[in-house]
Amino acid sequence: MNAIDFLLNEKITAAEFIDVLNRSSLGQRRPVDDLVCMQGMLDHANLLVTARSQGKLVGVSRSVTDFHFCCYLSCLAVDSAFQRHGIGKELIRLTQAQLGARCTLLLVSAPAAVDYYPHIGFEHHPQAWILKPGAKIV
C-alpha cells in the first residue's frame, strides 16, 4: 500500500465526504441523499481528520467536541479497498490527540464495527442512552 497522508481539519466537499462514506459502506447508515444534512454535518463538526492515498480521500473521522470533556466521534469510515491497514486506528489516534486530558471519546457503533472498537481499546458503556430524531420526552 502507498503511504497514507493524514490531515487535520482540511476542508472537504460534501461530495467527497459522501463518496468516501459510500466506498466504506457507512453511506448505507448516513443520510447521503440529503445534501443539506450532509453539508451541515461537515459545516458544524469541529474536528475532522482525513486520510489520503496519492491525493484520494480514503478515510475520515468526523467529530463534534468541546475538546475538554467530551468528544462524539460520529463518522469513522475507511474506503473498503484500504481497510485493515491501520488507517481507522490512526484516524482515531489523531482525533484523540487533539483532546484535553479529561476528554472522553464517545461513539455509537455501526453493526459492522461492534467487534472493532473493543479490539482497539474502547470500553462498552452500558449506561449510554440515545433520543432518536423526533422522539418525544414523555
Ligand X SMILES: CC(C)(COP(=O)(O)OP(=O)(O)OC[C@H]1O[C@@H](n2cnc3c(N)ncnc32)[C@H](O)[C@@H]1OP(=O)(O)O)[C@@H](O)C(=O)NCCC(=O)NCCS
Confirm or reject binding of residue 87 to ligand X (CB under 6 A). Answer: yes
CB of 13 to ligand X, least distance (A): 19
Helix (H, G, I), strand (E, B) or coil at 79: coil
| Distance of closest approach, residue 138 Cβ to ligand X, in angstroms | 28
* CA distance readout (Å), 71 to 50, 81, 85, 97, 104: 17, 28, 25, 12, 6
Nearest distance, CB of residue 131 and ligand X, angstroms: 19
With cell 449510554, the residue in question is 128
Please answer whether residues 27 and 17 qualify as being in contact, where contact means their C-beta atoms are separated by less than 8 angstroms: no
Please say which residue, 20 or 99, places its beta carbon nearer to ligand X. 20
Specify the residue, 1 or 137, whose C-beta has the smaller distance to ligand X: 1
Give the footprint of ligand X on this chain (CB under 6 A): 24-26, 76-78, 83-89, 107, 109-110, 112-113, 115-116, 119-120
